[in-house]
Amino acid sequence: MPRRPPQDRVFAFGRRNVLRKHIPSGELVFAGVFLVLLILIGIWVIAQRGRFDPRDRDVSSEVLLESGPVRQLIRQPLKRWGEASGIRLAAPDTGVFAASLLDGGWTLDGAVESWTPANLYEKIDGAAEQYLRFGFVELQNVTLAKDGLFITVEVYDQGSFPGALGIFAAQRDSSRKVERRGAHFVYETPVGFIGLHANDYFKITGSAIDPLVTTKAEQLLTTLAELPVEAGSAPRIFTALSSGMGLPFDRISYQAANVFRFDFLEAFWFAQAEPGSNARLFVHEEKDEESAQRLVDRLRGEQEMEYELRSKGPGGLVFEHKFIPAWFLLRREGTLLFGVERAKNRAEAERLAARLGEVLRD
């Protein structure tokens, strides 16, 4: 008598029947119920997607405040011990700055920091190259604090007056008037001052517009005037432009490299010739006459790419731009190269160059 095959089951605990020829009704029912359940879950998820109510599902703010860690978001500046115990405390270390840095009840918010060409990028990443191009030597940086207000003082030693003037002119806000304050050339900002003192370019920046910040920023100008700087007079070209030509400080600038967008030209002085005019005076001094003439010849070759040479002689090289109304005049006297760019016509270029030549000869 043949053996009856075992009945198929959804859960087969015995021998597996891999060759079955029909699907039992139990499995069909289970598959249908499971499919319906998945569809219902999908419908529920879609329906609930825009119905999030934090009050129903989030932990309340009261519970969070009771159980959460306490974090101090504002770091209070350290206060010195009082001297009631009879112990005399050492004065705060103000570094290169005079003790008057802390006048008015201001305190140090951290130590005085110093930055060199090797690590300046850590302080002002992305802008360090501009300072280095003008001969940067060292940055002294300090932050002062009082009554929740802060003032940052940055002093950039650029190694020379031209270097300091160059970075000052490159970053100056042309809408603000430069004025003389004692030993400084400065212009005022809403929260402090930006200025120049000998070889130093400095910034005084407050955290808010406040009378306390304004008063302290004014006093800090006196403190910065006490900084040690190398003795020396302003370069004679600057003196010629400022005193000889009678040009105000904010119309004189210095470009250390890439002059006229030529990488072989360096260390040129510039000055806006007259108010409302695009014409600019320029002066450069070479180490000897031979080097100066080589520079003139090379510059002439480059300028002839965009300018037409109109004349050459004792009055210098006179160029007219090929496409725009602009004249360029270049002259050499001894080791000095000087001239005019962006003049509106030839007469203006020759007049300004003649006056500049007289001043430089004097």
292 and 312 co-located in one domain: yes
* Interior angle at CA 178, CA 109 and CA 328, nearest 5: 130
Examine residue 250 and state whether it is found in any structural domain, yes or no: yes
**Do the Cβ atoms of 112 and 141 come closer than 8 Å?**
yes
CB-based contact 320:307 (threshold 8 Å): yes
Query: Helix or strand or coil: residue 36?
Result: helix
- For the domain that residue 326 is a member of, what is the CATH number? 3.40.1000.20
Give residue-wise pLDDT tens across range 168-201: 988 988 888 888 888 788 999 999 999 998 889 9
Residues 112 and 214 placed together within one structural domain of the fold? yes
Strand 268-272 relative to strand 280-285, pairing: antiparallel
| pLDDT for res 329 | 96
Give me the average pLDDT of each 10-residue run along the chain (362 residues). 58 59 80 90 80 60 59 60 54 85 91 92 86 92 93 93 90 88 88 91 93 93 82 74 90 91 93 89 94 94 94 90 95 94 94 93 84
DSSP 8-state symbol, 92 = P
Instruction: Look at residue 339 and tell me if it is in a domain.
Output: yes
Asked if residue 252 and residue 342 are part of one domain, the reply reads: yes
Domain boundary among 225, 257, 279: 225
Does any domain span residue 63? no
Q: What is the pLDDT of residue 83?
A: 47
Residues 214, 252 share a domain: no
- State the residue range of the domain holding 339: 236-361
pLDDT digits (tens, 9 = 90+) for 29-79: 888 899 999 999 988 888 777 666 655 556 665 655 665 556 666 666 555
CB count within 10 Å of CB 308 equals 11
Residue 103 and residue 219 in one domain = yes
Are 216 and 329 found together in one domain? no
Domain identity same for 162 and 276? no
The reply to whether 285 and 312 lie within a common domain is yes
What pTM was computed for the model?
Answer: 0.64
d(CA 39, CA 41) in angstroms, rounded, equals 5
Q: How far apart are CA 144 and CA 133, in angstroms?
A: 29
User: What is the domain count for the chain?
Assistant: 2
Among all chains, which residue has been given the structure tokens 């000095």?
Answer: 336
In a shared domain, residues 180 and 294: no
State how far the alpha carbon of 101 is from the alpha carbons of 76, 131, 221, 306, in Å. 20, 25, 10, 54
Assigned domain for 105 exists = yes
Classify residue 287 by its DSSP letter: S
SS3 call for 170: helix
CA-based nearest residue to 335, from 281, 293, 273, 282: 293
Q: Using CA atoms, how far apart are residues 85 and 104, in angstroms rounded to an integer? A: 24
Six token digits for residue 303 = 């300028």
Q: Which residue has the tokens 């520079």?
A: 295
The predicted pLDDT at position 175 comes to 86
Q: Are residues 263 and 354 in the same domain?
A: yes
Out of 178, 201, 225, pick the residue that ends a domain.
225
Residues 285 and 343 in one domain: yes
Distances (CA, A) of 199 to 18, 127, 138, 161, 295: 93, 19, 11, 5, 28
Q: Which of 199, 225, 251 is the last residue of a domain?
A: 225
For residue 269, tell me if it sits in a domain.
yes
- 177 in a structural domain: yes
Q: Residues 105, 146: contact at Cβ < 8 Å? A: yes
Measured CA to CA, the distance from residue 341 to residue 85 in angstroms comes to 71
Give a yes or no: residue 136 inside a domain.
yes
pLDDT of 153 reads 95
What pLDDT, on the 0 to 100 scale, is given for residue 141?
A: 93
CB 220 within 8 A of CB 151: yes
Please report whether residue 67 resides in a domain. Answer: no
pLDDT on residue 217 = 93
Q: Are 94 and 102 in contact, with CB atoms under 8 Å apart?
A: yes
Ramachandran angles phi, psi of 186, nearest 5°? -140, 160
Alpha helices in the chain (DSSP H): 25-48, 54-57, 61-67, 120-123, 128-133, 161-171, 211-225, 236-239, 289-303, 346-361
Spatial contact of 225 and 218, defined as CB atoms under 8 Å apart: no
Q: What Cα–Cα distance (Å) separates residue 340 from each residue in 116, 266, 310? A: 37, 17, 15
Q: Are residues 240 and 221 in the same domain?
A: no
